[in-house]
């Protein structure tokens, strides 16, 4: 069910995805993970330190996890929060669609009453 308040986890997820660089990192890791921060920095026009800061935000939101390979850290996408987000968006969309269908039915009913009279005498 859609909650009136956004939970703390969801806030971190939305904050992480609000940044275009982090969204790009998520998309990149979806098709190319695991990757090290050095490998990612070679793809993006920001420093390795900048990449690490973005990866930390993504990790705190549960979107990436770290795999150790010797001394190297590799980052891999964790898609579960995205599935939860997609389910939430679908739920909100379904509620909105149901409201629009009710509105359509009311408008069509009102137009039918005007066209055929409202059934309260008058004929």
Any domain includes 114: no
- Binning pLDDT at 50, 70 and 90, where does residue 9 land? low
Contacts of 117 (CB under 8 A, 6+ apart): 123
Q: Is residue 61 part of a domain?
A: yes
Predicted pLDDT at 4: 44
Residue 45 lies in a domain: yes
Residue 97: inside a domain: no
Q: How distant, in Å, are the alpha carbons of 4, 48, 62 from that of 9?
A: 14, 26, 8
Report the CATH number that the domain containing residue 42 is assigned in CATH.
1.10.10.10
pLDDT of residue 22: 97
pLDDT band at 3 (very low <50, low <70, confident <90, very high): low
Q: Is residue 38 part of a domain?
A: yes
Confidence of residue 117 (pLDDT cuts 50, 70, 90): low
Q: Which long-range contacts (CB under 8 A, 24 or more apart) does 27-33 make?
A: 29/64, 29/75, 29/76, 29/77, 30/77, 30/79, 33/64, 33/74, 33/75, 33/76, 33/77
| pTM of full prediction above 0.75 | no
Domain hosting 52: range is 8-78
d(CA 36, CA 52): 9
Summarize the confidence of residues 24-44 as an average pLDDT.
95
Identify the helix (H) or strand (E) that includes residue 35: strand 35-36
Q: What is the structure's pLDDT at 56?
A: 97
**Residue 25 pLDDT > 60:** yes
Establish if 88 belongs to a structural domain.
no
Total structural domains in the chain?
1
| CB 81, CB 62: distance < 8 Å | yes
Asked if the structure places residue 55 within a domain, the reply is yes
């Amino acid at each position: 069910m859609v909650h009136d308040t956004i939970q703390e986890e969801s806030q971190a997820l939305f904050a992480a995805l609000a940044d275009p660089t982090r969204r790009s990192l998520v998309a990149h890791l979806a098709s190319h993970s695991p990757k090290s921060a050095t490998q990612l920095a070679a793809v993006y026009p920001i420093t390795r330190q900048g990449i690490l800061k973005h990866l930390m935000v993504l990790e705190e939101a549960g979107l990436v996890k770290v795999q150790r390979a010797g001394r190297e850290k590799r980052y891999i996408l964790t898609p579960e929060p995205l599935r939860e987000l997609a389910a939430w968006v679908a739920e909100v969309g379904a509620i909105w669609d149901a409201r629009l269908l009710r509105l359509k039915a009311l408008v069509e009913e009102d137009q039918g009453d005007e066209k055929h009279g409202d059934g309260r005498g008058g004929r």
